[in-house]
Structure 1
Amino acid sequence: MKRILSSLTDGKGFDLVLVGLPLVFLLLLSGLPLVYNVLMSVQQVDMFSMGSFIRPFAGFQNYVDLFKLPETRGILMNTAIFVVASITGQFLIGFGLALFFWVNFPGASWLRGLFLASWVMPGLVAGAIWNWILSGDFGVLNFLLKELGIIHANIFWRSDPHYSLWAVVLANIWLGTAFNMILLSVGLSGIPKDLYEASELDGANVWQRFWTITLPMMRSTIGAVVALGLIFTLQQFDLFAAITDGGPNNSSNVAQFWAWDLSFRQYDFAKGATISVIMIVFVMFASIVYVRSTRHEVRG
C-alpha cells in the first residue's frame, strides 16, 4: 500500500489513475446495467421483483415468446428498413457534401457550419422541428411538394401507415448527415494530392480518379463511418418519440422504441430486456467492425 501511495505522489503511478478511474466509471455505469439487463432477459420479471436479482429462471423462454408475438416480424422488418435506409441516405449525402467542401471556395466554412447545426441538435428538438415540417395540414414539406407539382393533396406523413416510417427515416438522415460529412472529410484530407496529380497527367478523368484513388484510399474510413452509423441508428429513440410514437398500428415501430414501450408502458420488463439484449449483440458487432476499421487505418 505504501508503495502504491509513493508511486502516486512522485507521479510514476499517475497513469494508473488515468486508466483506473474511467474503468471504474464504465463498470459502474455501463457494466452493471448491462449485466442486470441480461439477467432480466432470462428471468420472470414483474413490477414486484424489479429490485431483486433473484427471480424465477425462465431460460430462453422469453426469447421464444417474443418471436411468437404477431407484431414481432413487422417491427423487425421496420428496424431493418430504418437502419438500411438511414445509413444509406446519411452516407451518400454526407459523402457528396464532403466531396463538395473538399474544394475550397469563399464561404465554405460558414456553409459547412450550417450543416453542422443539425448534428449538435438534440434528438427531441430535431423531432419537434420535423413535426412541423411533416405536418399534414400546414407542413413545409407538403407545401414544397405541391408547389413543385409532385403531389396534389396533402400527405399526412406522421399518421399514414404508408409514410410514417419514412417520415422518421427522412428526419434521421437529416440529423446524421453532418456527422458522416465530418468523418468522410477527414478521410479525404488524408489522401495525398500527388496521387491525383499523377493520375491526371496519365489522362485519368474525374470518375476514374474517384474509382481508382478516392474509394480505395477511403476504405477504412468508410468502414468506420458505416459502423458508427449502425451504432447510432440502432440507438435512435428520440425521433420516434417526438414524431410518430411508433404508430399508427406499429407501422413506424422499431426494436429500440418497442423495447422501451414494452418495459415502461406495458410493464413487460422481461421482453423489453430481451429485445435490448438482441440489439446489444448487433451493436457489439458494429463496434468490432469499427475498431477493426480504425486499427487498419492506423496501420495504413
Structure 2
Amino acid sequence: MKSKFRLSEQQRGILNGYAFILPALIFMIALIGYPTIYNFIISFQDATAQAIASNSHQFIGFDNYRSIFSDSLLKQSFINTFLYTIGCLAFQFSIGFILALFFCKKFPLCKIIRGLVVISWMLPVTVTALIFKFMFSEGNGIINQILMNMHFIQQPVSWLTNGGTAMWSLIIANSWIGIPFNMLLLTTGLNNIPVDVMEAASIDGANGIQKFFRITIPLLKPTMMSVLVLGFVYTFKVFDLVFVMTSGGPVDSTQVLSTYSYKLSFSYFRFGEGAAAANILFLCLFVVALIYLKLVSDDEVM
C-alpha cells in the first residue's frame, strides 16, 4: 500500500537543507545563543559571588547599568578602546594596503614572501602578546637594545609600565598581527579589478595616479569597507592581547571594555555589572554591524 504522505522533490530538498544546517544551528544555540541570553539576564540581577553562592540573586532592573555608568573607569575604558581601535586600524590598513599594491606585482619569490608575512596573523594572539611583552621589557628587551644602539634613546624605556607608552606598545603589537589580514583581503580585491578597464584607461591616456584614484579606489571601495568594518570588530573586542601584555595597566591606562568587564566579573566578583559592561560592548559592535549592512545594501541598490 502506497503512502499518502509522499514528499515532492522540492519538499525533500528543503528538508535536506534543514538537515544540513541543523548541526550548525545546534552549535550556535548551545555555545553562542545560550551564553548571550544568560549574560543579558544576569545583567539585570544582583549577581555577586555571595548572591550566587546563596542562590539569592534577584532582579534589580537597571541598577547594574546605573552603577557602571557612574564609574569613571567605564568612560576611560571607552576612550581607551576607541583610541586603540582607531590607532590599530590606521596602521593596519595603510601598511596592509601598501603591501597589497606591492604583492600585486609579479616578481620572483612573490608568493613565498607573502606567505612569510602571513605568519604573524596565523600565530595565536597569546603567543604574539608574550613575544612583544618580552620585546618591550625594560631590562633586556630587544626594542630598547636596538634604539639604544642606534642612539635614539640614552636609557631603557619602560614601555609597558608607563601610561604614555603602554597603549602605543599594544597598538604596535596588534598592528603586526592585523597587517597580513588587511593585505590578503585587499590583494584579493585588487586582483578582481578587470584588466580590460585598466587597459582602456591607458589607451585613453590616463597615467598611473589617475588610474589609481579614478579606477582602483572606486572599484576597491566594497573590499576596503569590508576590511575596515571587520578590522574594527576584531580590534574593538580585543581581550587576550591586552590581558597578557598589560592586564589593563599601568593604572588602568590601557583598560578596554573587555578587560573592564573581566575585572568586574572575576576580580571583584560583581558578575551582574560585568555582564552589563559586556552588553555595552556587544551593543557597540551591533550598531557597527547595522551600519555596515546599511552601506552594503545601499551599494547593491546603486
TM-score (norm 1): 0.90
User: Which one is further off, 93-102 or 203-212?
Assistant: 203-212
Structure 2 unmatched runs, 5+: none
Query: 1:28: how far off?
Result: 1.7
Query: 1:173: how far off?
Result: 0.6
Q: Distance in 1 between matches of 2:28 and 2:176?
A: 31
SS, match of residue 103 in structure 2: helix
Letter in 1 for 2:135: I
Query: 1:56: how far off?
Result: 2.2
Q: 1:212 and 1:110, CA in 2 relative to 1: closer, same or farther beyond 3 A? A: same
Q: How does 1:64-75 map to 2 (within 5 A)?
A: 64-75=66-77
Q: Distance in 1 between matches of 2:55 and 2:284?
A: 25
Please give the per-residue CA displacement for 1:27-59, whole angstroms capped at 9, x wherever unaligned: 121111111111122221112444899842222
> Which residue, out of 21, 37, 42, partners 1:19?
21
Cross-structure match for 1:40: 42
Asked if structure 1 preserves the Cα contact closer than 8 Å seen for 2:88 and 2:171, the reply is yes
TM-score (norm 2): 0.90
Asked if structure 2 preserves the Cα contact closer than 8 Å seen for 1:221 and 1:294, the reply is no
Q: Distance in 1 between matches of 2:160 and 2:172?
A: 12
Asked if structure 2 preserves the Cα contact closer than 8 Å seen for 1:227 and 1:289, the reply is no
Q: Distance in 2 between matches of 1:107 and 1:297?
A: 37
Q: 1:212 and 1:291, CA in 2 relative to 1: closer, same or farther beyond 3 A? A: same
User: Which one is further off, 280-289 or 270-279?
Assistant: 280-289
Asked if structure 2 preserves the Cα contact closer than 8 Å seen for 1:41 and 1:270, the reply is yes
Structure 1 unmatched runs, 5+: none
SS, match of residue 13 in structure 1: helix
1:219 aligns with 2:188: no
Q: 1:141 and 1:12, CA in 2 relative to 1: closer, same or farther beyond 3 A? A: same
> Which residue, out of 109, 115, 118, partners 1:116?
118
1:57 aligns with 2:59: yes
User: Which one is further off, 249-258 or 142-151?
Assistant: 142-151
Q: Distance in 2 between matches of 1:121 and 1:4?
A: 53
Query: 1:61: how far off?
Result: 2.1
Q: Distance in 2 between matches of 1:4 and 1:27?
A: 32
Percent pairwise identity: 32
1:257 aligns with 2:259: yes
> Which residue, out of 241, 244, 249, partners 1:242?
244
Cross-structure match for 1:104: 106
Cross-structure match for 1:165: 167
Cross-structure match for 1:229: 231
Q: Distance in 2 between matches of 1:71 and 1:49?
A: 24
Query: 1:203: how far off?
Result: 2.8
Asked if structure 1 preserves the Cα contact closer than 8 Å seen for 2:121 and 2:180, the reply is yes
Q: Distance in 2 between matches of 1:24 and 1:164?
A: 42
Cross-structure match for 2:198: 196
Q: 1:4 and 1:97, CA in 2 relative to 1: closer, same or farther beyond 3 A? A: farther
Q: Distance in 2 between matches of 1:130 and 1:123?
A: 11
CA RMSD of aligned residues (A): 2.7
SS, match of residue 218 in structure 1: helix
Cross-structure match for 1:87: 89
Cross-structure match for 1:141: 143
